[in-house]
Structure 1
Amino acid sequence: MKKRLWPGDSCCSFCDQPETTQHLMFLCPVSRVVWRTVGSVLGTDCCPNTIWQYYVWMYSFLPGLDKIYTVGLAAICWAIWLARNRATFELKWINSPFEIVFTACAFLMYWAGLQKPEIGKMVKKGAEMLKENTTQMLLLCGPPIPTRDGRDGN
């Protein structure tokens, strides 16, 4: 945004830290919840801090499924980006980071149809597992976390 001389706030729309790609996609507290939710499906409480760590992470927990790593990364990052843009430009705040995970699941389900049948089945199964796990986590959580401006959303 700085390169395009955008006059708006240079801080993350989810927190008060300076927005960089790495911060938004991996280090922001909202993104951390998203990645920890994905990690819980993989059976780990660790999560990546960079794109390179993501690939190492996936290789560690899903060895041999390297053909789906980029689809998963794209779905998560695209969902984060869209939520950020809604907050930044439309002032529509998320109620919970789980909304981002559900959006990523929808992308995965749609994109599964664009893959070769064998890969598509794996992507769809992963999306279903992530959606089910996220639903369970959402039911266990308390009230929505407040956004940067103190509101609970929308």
Structure 2
Amino acid sequence: MGIPSSKNGIHLEDIHDHTCLFCAELETTQHLFFDCLVARILWSHLSEMFNVTLGSNLEHTTSFWGHNKRFEVINMTTAGVLWSLWKCQNNLFFRSSSWSSMQVLCHVALRHLRSWTSLCSSAGQGALEHILQQLEGKSVEIPRLLPG
């Protein structure tokens, strides 16, 4: 569920609840990153933006990574989404927060990806910025989802 923190006294062996903090279903790695409604909504928007199916599972998602230059923006975006899902889930767990909205996740992803823009080629930077603008627009349209 995350890296143990001695500050809050939580250790990995103490974690027994495997409930997804986004949707309250059983959490597995596949669920957190791909099958959770929250992840599926985000992957669906990205698939639409890139006109390619993204986010079905880890093997498919990382299959683009071997073609670094050809899929530079897809690679950056998928890594950013995976990282953002992980960071948001850990923030919910370790800060004892509650899930509030897809907009929060989108803004975390946007913040990470914007900070990584300089890692892209010049052409990739422009393409990534275009995707980020589209994602920012989508984040306004995404409904508020609360577990229940």
User: What TM-score do the two structures reach when normalised by structure 1?
Assistant: 0.72
Mark the CA change 1:145 to 1:130 in structure 2 (over 3 Å): closer, same or farther: closer
Residues 45-124 of structure 1: pairs in structure 2 closer than 5 A: 48-54=55-61, 65-124=70-129
Partner in structure 2 of residue 130 of structure 1: 135
Tell me the matched-pair count: 137
Deviations 1:49-107 (A, max 9, x none): 20233357x7xxxxx84122221111101111111112112122232123212221221
Q: Which structure 1 residue ranges, 5 or more long, are not aligned?
A: 59-63
Asked if 1:20 is matched to 2:28, the reply is yes
Q: What value does the CA root-mean-square deviation take over the aligned residues?
A: 2.8
Contact 2:110–2:132 (8 Å) recurs in 1: yes
Contact 2:50–2:74 (8 Å) recurs in 1: no
Contact 1:105–1:128 (8 Å) recurs in 2: no
Contact 1:37–1:134 (8 Å) recurs in 2: no
User: What TM-score do the two structures reach when normalised by structure 2?
Assistant: 0.74
Aligned-residue sequence identity (percent) comes to 21
AA paired with 1:32?
R
Q: Which structure 2 residue ranges, 5 or more long, are not aligned?
A: 3-11
Q: Distance in 1 between matches of 2:95 and 2:127?
A: 35
